[in-house]
Amino acid sequence: MVAGLAMRYGLHANPHSLMLYIVQTLFTMVLAPCAFIASAYVLLGRIAIYLDCDEQLVISPRILTRVFLISDISTFLIQAAGGGLSASSSKSGGSVDLGSKVSLVGVILQLVSFGIFTGIYIVFLYRVYTRRRTIWTIDRYRGFYNDWRGLALALAISCAGILVSLLSEHLQARIITRVIVRSVRSTGQ
């Protein structure tokens, strides 16, 4: 994220640099959300273990965390590779369109992966609510800030926010792809 802000400073000094724009977009739009997504993956497993409700998850908490972290890292690398292709081809005159499409595929895969995770989380909450009522209400007298359901609500709100962010990132990536391709075609780079 700091690198993205540094690129913004570079863009201020050189506003027509396509490479700086691509690198800045890569660091602020692609890399920053990955940490938030990874924390959600880890948190669900921790909640299930804390509540001793591992059996309410579709898969075990350890496997769940590993699978989705691997997915997050993979989609991050795909998006970074697409950004790298776009940045390098803007200097060498190669196909910026290919790099943008690779980045877009990474965003779509990340959206699908996080959508599946959110579905697993919803199923987990439903199962705990319907099958383990005593666990659901175990912290009800401790205050909302000490109740596990407060953390579960915060995670649910985070999931909704991340899904909205990924959807808008998908739309922005499509728009940016078109802008970059048109820019390169019109300048002949």
Cβ pair 48, 125 in contact under 8 A: no
pTM: 0.77
- 43/79 Cα distance (integer angstroms): 24
CA distance 109 to 128: 29
Q: Degrees (nearest 5) of the Cα angle 11, 5, 166?
A: 105
How far is Cα of residue 74 from the mean position of the Cα atoms in its chain?
11
Going by pLDDT thresholds of 50, 70 and 90, the confidence category of residue 45 is very high
pLDDT band of residue 59 (cuts 50, 70, 90) is very high
Q: How confident is the model at residue 177 (pLDDT cuts 50, 70, 90)?
A: low
Distance of CA 126 to the CA centre of its chain: 24
Q: How far is CA 42 from CA 35, 58, 122, 135, in A?
A: 11, 15, 16, 20
pLDDT digit string, tens, across residues 68-113:
999 999 998 998 888 777 767 655 555 667 777 888 888 889 989 9
What tens digit of pLDDT does each residue of 28-39 get? 666 667 778 888
The chain-wide mean pLDDT, for the chain, equals 81
Q: Distance between CA atoms of 64 and 142, rounded to whole angstroms?
A: 29
CA distance 35 to 72: 9
Alpha-carbon distance of 81 to 137, in angstroms, equals 46
Residue 97: CB atoms within 10 Å: 17
Residue 25 near residue 83, CB atoms below 8 Å: yes
HSE (side-chain half, CA atoms, 13 Å) at 120: 24
Q: How far apart are CA 136 and CA 51, in angstroms?
A: 9
The per-residue pLDDT for 20 is: 72
